[in-house]
Amino acid sequence: NWTTGNVIEEQVAAIREQVGDRRAICGLSGGVDSAVAAALVQKAIGSQLTCVYVDHGLMRKGETEQVEKDFVAATGVQLKVVDAEERFLKALAGVSDPEEKRKIIGREFIRVFEQAQAEIIADQGPAVEFLVQGTLYPDVVESGGGTGTANIKSHHNVGGLPEDLEFKLIEPLRQLFKDEVRMVGQELGLPDEIVQRQPFPGPGLGIRIVGAVSKERLDLLREADAIAREELTAAGLDRDIWQCPVVLLADVRSVGVQGDGRTYGHPIVLRPVSSEDAMTADWSRLPYDVLAKISTRITNEVRDVNRVVLDVTSKPPGTIEWE
């Protein structure tokens, strides 16, 4: 019979057996799956695991700290944080096209992550043989069920490393659905802010700025997003909505009035949706008073934003994200 306790026990035993006295690496994204996978492997092999977190500067407010502090506190995991904000901002400068942004972010991410892996291997030696991945059952089914090894091509010249590093995969969540992963995470003592986290795209806020990405625009969007999340949580609506992208229309300006003066600022879009699997979605009928509160706070508290609009488009024809 299925209990989270049984799953954890089984996986811990299997991981110990698989890894023996060798070492593993795990990339943390800030999302639920990689966090729970890492926590499970940490429970099994402790300091033989090293986690890597690439801070690309496109995370929401407080999320990097959540990984750096709360996740480490809850698990005791060894964590290597790579601050790559400047590198990502530089690579993204002046780029507005959504697919181009995705390509750049994906490419930079792999480079930074591989560099970190290479450093860990240089430091810990060839016993680093395993890569932990938070693959879930639906991912396994979708991709046709393959498993085994990851062939990581290294573009970096880190002294004495082979050109191609081949990792064996550890995928402790391969038999689980999302809600089961959350239960396992909870049982492992991970904080609610991580375990109950709603889906967030890998390219982060980079694809929630319509227009080019800059530090200034990211900071502004981070503030607006934090306010929306705070009010949705305070209203007890987190479980009712699938996710709520908050989008900055950086290339749009509209006229407003504040105090005695005319303003010429940017709109923020709220995109709360309900969904089962993100393939289709409907816009969430949020209570007007919650929307009013979010709107008032964002326009009062976020510099350069003078308008908040609500996206009332289902998917299809809209996508959940604006880019």
Q: For Cα atoms 273, 276, 278, give the angle at the middle one, nearest 5 degrees.
A: 65
Residue whose CB is less far from ligand XMP, 206 or 265: 206
Closest distance to ligand XMP from the beta carbon of 321 (Å): 3
Identified binder of ligand XMP from the candidate list 125, 138, 199, 287, rule CB under 6 A: 199
The strand pair at 246-249 and 261-270 is best described as antiparallel
Told to check if 274 binds ligand XMP by CB under 6 A, we report: no
Any contact of residue 201 with ligand XMP (CB under 6 A)? yes
| 320 binds ligand XMP, rule: CB under 6 A | yes
Classify residue 59 as left (phi > 0), alpha (psi -120 to 50) or beta.
beta
217: left (phi over 0), alpha (psi -120 to 50) or beta: alpha
Stretches 48-56, 61-69, 108-116, 315-323: which one binds ligand XMP (CB under 6 A)?
315-323
> What does the longest C-alpha to C-alpha distance in the chain come to?
70
Task: Let me know: does 172 contact 37? Beta carbons within 8 Å.
Answer: yes
Among 91, 95, 202, 310, binds ligand XMP (CB under 6 A): 202
User: Is 284 labelled as part of a ligand binding site?
Assistant: no
Q: 91, 127, 278, 290: which one contacts ligand XMP (CB under 6 A)? A: 278
Residue 172 or 203 having the CB closest to ligand XMP: 203
Q: Is 110 in the site for ligand XMP (CB under 6 A)?
A: no
Indicate the residue among 102 and 168 with the shorter CB distance to ligand XMP.
102
Give me the half-sphere count of Cα atoms (radius 13 Å) on the Cβ side of residue 167: 20
Q: Is 295 annotated as a binding residue?
A: no
* Among 42, 117, 243, 299, interactor with ligand XMP by CB under 6 A: 243
Count CB-CB contacts under 10 A for residue 179: 8
Residues 6+ positions from 56 with CB-CB distance below 8 Å: 84, 85, 88, 105, 108, 109, 112, 204, 206
Our finding on whether 140 is near ligand XMP (CB under 6 A) is: no
* Contact flag: residue 315 with ligand XMP (CB under 6 A): yes
